[in-house]
Chains A and B, each alone.
Chain A
């Protein structure tokens, strides 16, 4: 718990940066647009419709879609910018809608009176319509505030640090203290910011200058701190830290820690981690040079990026991937760690024994009586298509679930099969068995330390240090490290430290 709380200032600051700046941007767009929509009739419907459409996009998808869009525009595609833009778009609707309803809802008699006493249209807006619509507009602002604080926790997968780092990492590594800290902190933050906006509103409405002053001062202080800390981190100074990426599962957290400690130990270079990135996000970020190094798997690149459906040996796939990455994406392989983390089909030992199943090719006759749990991407991956085709496998049910919960679901019999990762220590810990891919439908998944050309050019010493990890981690070592985090409740950093210590011996 204490080591989680130590991360709080950094996560909270980053979360505030995202939330407050995105809210300011939402308001800066939607207030003028809302006012314009009440003056220019034809504008109202399209403006509200577009804002509503943005709202119907699932929030995580909205953030994720920013990554390729920004990459196409040659802008920073992971980190602060995509999260900031996604959050800003999301906050538009409540403020816009409430501005329009608030102004449109002003009693016509008051609008007539305002004209009757000789106000110009601008004076009517400023002195009568806006003050009277203020409670409604503020209500929209409060909705946007609470939404944005909540949704900012989802910016972790696009590489922006937030309180979501607690939640994503915690869920993956089964560290529920981290999840709890993340949830409580963001809930408290949402309530505090909501109360702040509320007290501004009450102060203005009831003409309580003290309250207005205090609330405005707190708001101003928060913005100053936010902008100041953001500017500080942008200007930085000194060496650019080596940016280490991690996708959203335990092994990746451990490996990111391992790379971090290794680079710091071997080269003394400062590093920064970007955790819980989506698979495609991480790859694109590396190709764009926003991330310097992360570990990916040869089969993932082979199937997902290159779109290959055939299968080769470990060495064949590895060299084809290396050539492809170099030629098309400016990515080099600094080291092949030595283990494979392949997708596999796993089931409970007792079920396998009872049904007499050892290989995937034993499954098809029973297929329609079986259900399978897969991680968030499994059923849409080419590997699954390959398994379905090569084995002619048809199942009764395919259930997508969080990878962290998959093993437990299998152990409890909620599903019969899961898409287990071969390095996952929970396979043995939960009494599961990996079924033999006897017809070779699943490509090899060598863990590769991938680096950007930019890093090769700028920091050859780091790339060289990474090269010394080649072949140093075997599948059993990786499984033990994963198990220590998933089941032993240990911290990925601690596990990585212990492993590096054992390497040195």
Chain B
């Protein structure tokens, strides 16, 4: 479905992504996991050509994306990112319907699709449709952003820490919604995060990136069983370490 081959991106002297090769199967969700500067976002944006690679290639359904018109390519790929980027001068429904309208859908089709999507992301169509983005809470905005990414029935979605800026409870609710939506729609997705828990929760497979290189790729259980190096091991350990830390803090309070 998605195939990266020898993908590199160089900024001046710095190699942001180095010789990255991987494949994402149809219907699979691959998590790109890594800290800041690991090259995960750069990799993601090279798939829909928001960033052009220095060398290497990306294939989508066997087509080299470099041969496609960028705007046509992006209309086939849903894209959601942390800042959401809802257009403030457009209503929620106009935001969600933007790609369908670029593709020339009829107004009726678009209206129907927008309502379906609003319900899918658990927003009340009658209440939300005509609102401006600034009248939405952070969680609602992010839901609308996901709905916009799904609007033109893309078979591929790219998500760049879409829930990163939300409070923990909202984030969890959105993650749950997202798991359900993906199960319903069966889209292929690449999901960037630096949050191990999120990666374990959502990913069919996880690719761990560090300094532009892929350290390891595999299903969560594989990574758990055989971490490639200390970095991966520490990363995998974070949720547990955090839980332990919380436990110890709470028990100290109890005894105090």
Interface 9-residue window, one of A22-30, A105-113, A161-169: A105-113
A112 to B87, CA, bound (A): 11
What distance in Å separates the Cβ of B231 from its nearest Cβ neighbour in chain A? 30
What distance in Å separates the Cβ of A128 from its nearest Cβ neighbour in chain B? 6
- Taking the complex as formed, is B191 at the interface, i.e. its CB lies under 8 A from any CB of chain A? no
Return the contact of B98 from the options A112, A117, A132, A205 (Cβ within 8 A): A117
Contact B89 A117 (CB under 8 A): no
Interface 9-residue window, one of A118-126, A183-191, A274-282, A389-397: A118-126
Contact A132 B89 (CB under 8 A): yes
Chain B residue numbers with a CB within 8 Å of A132 are 87-89
Return the contact of A118 from the options B75, B84, B88 (Cβ within 8 A): B75
Return the contact of A119 from the options B48, B71, B152 (Cβ within 8 A): B71
Contact B50 A117 (CB under 8 A): no
Residues 67-88 of B, flagged 1 when their CB comes within 8 A of A and 0 if not, give: 0001111111001010111111
Residues 132-160 of B, flagged 1 when their CB comes within 8 A of A and 0 if not, give: 00000000000000001000100000000
Contact A110 B102 (CB under 8 A): no
- Taking the complex as formed, is B193 at the interface, i.e. its CB lies under 8 A from any CB of chain A? no
- Taking the complex as formed, is A116 at the interface, i.e. its CB lies under 8 A from any CB of chain B? yes
On chain A, the number of residues with a Cβ less than 8 Å from chain B's Cβ atoms is 18
Name, among B48, B74, B86, the residue most crowded by chain A CB atoms within 10 Å (CB to CB): B74
Contact A117 B99 (CB under 8 A): yes
Contact A109 B83 (CB under 8 A): yes
Chain A residue numbers with a CB within 8 Å of B72 are 118
Given contacts A109-B85, A118-B74, A128-B87, is CB(A123)–CB(B102) below 8 Å? Answer: yes
Chain B residue numbers with a CB within 8 Å of A114 are 85, 87
Contact A112 B81 (CB under 8 A): yes
Contact B85 A110 (CB under 8 A): yes
A117 to B90, CA, bound (A): 14
What distance in Å separates the Cβ of B151 from its nearest Cβ neighbour in chain A? 8
Chain B residue numbers with a CB within 8 Å of A109 are 81, 83-85
Contact B85 A112 (CB under 8 A): yes
What distance in Å separates the Cβ of B195 from its nearest Cβ neighbour in chain A? 20
- Taking the complex as formed, is A131 at the interface, i.e. its CB lies under 8 A from any CB of chain B? yes
Contact B99 A118 (CB under 8 A): yes
A107 to B133, CA, bound (A): 14
Chain A residue numbers with a CB within 8 Å of B86 are 113
A107 to B73, CA, bound (A): 23
Within 8 A of A (CB), among B79-137: 79, 81, 83-89, 98-99, 102-103
* Chain B residue at smallest Cβ distance from A122: B71
Given contacts A112-B81, A116-B50, A118-B74, is CB(A131)–CB(B99) below 8 Å? Answer: no
Task: Work out how many contacts link A and B, with CB atoms closer than 8 A.
Answer: 61
Contact B71 A112 (CB under 8 A): no
Contact A116 B102 (CB under 8 A): no
Interface residues on B, range: 20 to 34
A113 to B83, CA, bound (A): 9
Contact B99 A112 (CB under 8 A): no
* Chain B residue at smallest Cβ distance from A124: B71
Contact A131 B81 (CB under 8 A): no
Chain A residue numbers with a CB within 8 Å of B88 are 110, 132
Chain A residue numbers with a CB within 8 Å of B102 are 117-119, 123
- Taking the complex as formed, is A115 at the interface, i.e. its CB lies under 8 A from any CB of chain B? yes
* Chain A residue at smallest Cβ distance from B99: A117
What distance in Å separates the Cβ of A120 from its nearest Cβ neighbour in chain B? 4
Name, among A112, A113, A131, A205, the residue most crowded by chain B CB atoms within 10 Å (CB to CB): A113
Contact B71 A120 (CB under 8 A): yes
Name, among B70, B73, B87, the residue most crowded by chain A CB atoms within 10 Å (CB to CB): B87
Contact A116 B48 (CB under 8 A): yes
Given contacts A123-B102, A131-B89, A132-B89, is CB(A117)–CB(B83) below 8 Å? Answer: no
Return the contact of B79 from the options A110, A117, A127 (Cβ within 8 A): A117
Contact B85 A113 (CB under 8 A): yes
Chain B residue numbers with a CB within 8 Å of A107 are 85
A117 to B152, CA, bound (A): 10
Residues 36-56 of B, flagged 1 when their CB comes within 8 A of A and 0 if not, give: 000000000000101000000
What distance in Å separates the Cβ of B145 from its nearest Cβ neighbour in chain A? 8
Contact B50 A112 (CB under 8 A): yes
* Chain A residue at smallest Cβ distance from B91: A207
A113 to B84, CA, bound (A): 8
* Chain A residue at smallest Cβ distance from B152: A118
Contact B81 A117 (CB under 8 A): no
Chain A residue numbers with a CB within 8 Å of B148 are 117
Chain B residue numbers with a CB within 8 Å of A127 are 87
Return the contact of B74 from the options A115, A128, A131, A205 (Cβ within 8 A): A115
* Chain A residue at smallest Cβ distance from B85: A113
Chain A residue numbers with a CB within 8 Å of B87 are 110, 113-114, 127-128, 132
A117 to B76, CA, bound (A): 9
What distance in Å separates the Cβ of B99 from its nearest Cβ neighbour in chain A? 5
Chain B residue numbers with a CB within 8 Å of A113 are 79, 81, 83-87
Chain B residue numbers with a CB within 8 Å of A116 are 48, 50, 74, 79, 81, 85
A109 to B85, CA, bound (A): 5
A-B contact pairs, 22 of them (CB 8 A): A109-B81, A109-B83, A109-B84, A110-B87, A110-B88, A112-B85, A113-B81, A113-B83, A113-B85, A113-B87, A114-B87, A115-B74, A116-B79, A116-B85, A117-B75, A118-B76, A118-B102, A119-B71, A119-B102, A128-B87, A131-B89, A132-B89
- B residues in contact (CB < 8 Å) with A: 48, 50, 70-76, 79, 81, 83-89, 98-99, 102-103, 148, 152
Query: 10 extra interchain contacts, Cβ-Cβ under 8 A, other than A112-B83, A116-B79, A117-B74?
Result: A109-B81, A109-B84, A109-B85, A112-B85, A116-B50, A116-B74, A117-B79, A117-B148, A119-B98, A120-B71
A-B pairs, 6 with minimum CB distance:
A113-B85, A118-B75, A109-B83, A116-B79, A118-B74, A120-B71
